[in-house]
Amino acid sequence: MKTSNVTEIQHLAKKLGLHHMSQGCFGLKERGMPNLEFLRIVLEQELNMREQKSRKSKIAKAHLPSLKTFDEFDLSLQPSLNQWQVDELKKLEWLEDKYNIVLLGGAGVGKTYIAIALGHLALSRNHKVFFTTLEELIVLLKTKDIVKANATRLSYLQQCALVIIDEVGYLPIEKEISNSLFQLLNKLYHKTSVIITTSVGFGHWGDLLKDEMLANANFGQSHASCASHSFERRELQTT
């Protein structure tokens, strides 16, 4: 039988896509390690490297604007939230069940903070996450047919377990874009959880979208899904 050398094994590992193994690991054999134990450790290191690479990729593609955690969130500043609600959110059961959440309240009260913290928590549990402001999402929708990178981002958004749409209500939305938003959210419905942060009450979303019926169909399903969850304060208002 032909005796294989390290270079040949590294070449085969590279062809198989075992990049970590192809770059080294063979110093372990110098310890007199049994072949099966050596193989187990090498494959374990390869798996760890791939998982780390996957996590880094998910973090980069999520486009979360900052690092926020619930450990730094001052619950005492939000009397409309209680610890039980926060603990329920942190379990991410709503994410597993594909429910949506609307964070409703005035500017500067912590809506975006909570949304980002939930995004990082979902990433830490190996979920794909996508963060965007409504303004940025509108640009993606308008330019997806002429900017390949934006079409790619929208495609990734539809693969995510969690999509966060921040700052809904700060700008009026054109009727054509309202239709595009409806089509997008309809694709996500029952497949992806959506978190929306807004300062606009549900009764005014018809004005925002320039169409009362479209508002009920478009974002109303997000409200309904949130209400179906087990929170006592369904809209999780922050005041």
Task: Give the residues of the chain that fall short of pLDDT 70.
Answer: 1-6, 9, 20-35, 202-239
Which pLDDT does position 31 carry in this prediction?
58
Which pLDDT does position 141 carry in this prediction?
94
8 Å CB contact between 60 and 113: no
Which pLDDT does position 173 carry in this prediction?
76
Which pLDDT does position 206 carry in this prediction?
61
The amino acid that residue 196 corresponds to is: I
- The answer to whether the predicted template modeling score (pTM) of the entire model surpasses 0.85 is no
Which pLDDT does position 165 carry in this prediction?
94
Among left, alpha and beta (phi > 0; psi -120 to 50; other), residue 130 is: beta
Which pLDDT does position 5 carry in this prediction?
63
Which pLDDT does position 212 carry in this prediction?
52
CATH of 70-228, one of 3.50.50.60, 2.30.60.10, 3.40.50.300, 3.40.630.30: 3.40.50.300
8 Å CB contact between 132 and 140: yes
- Give the C-alpha separation, 174 to 184, whole Å: 15
What are the sequence ranges of the domains in the chain? Answer: 6-57, 70-228
Which pLDDT does position 237 carry in this prediction?
47
Residue length, the chain?
Answer: 239
Within 8 A by CB and 6+ apart from 206, the residues are 212, 215, 216
Which pLDDT does position 26 carry in this prediction?
58
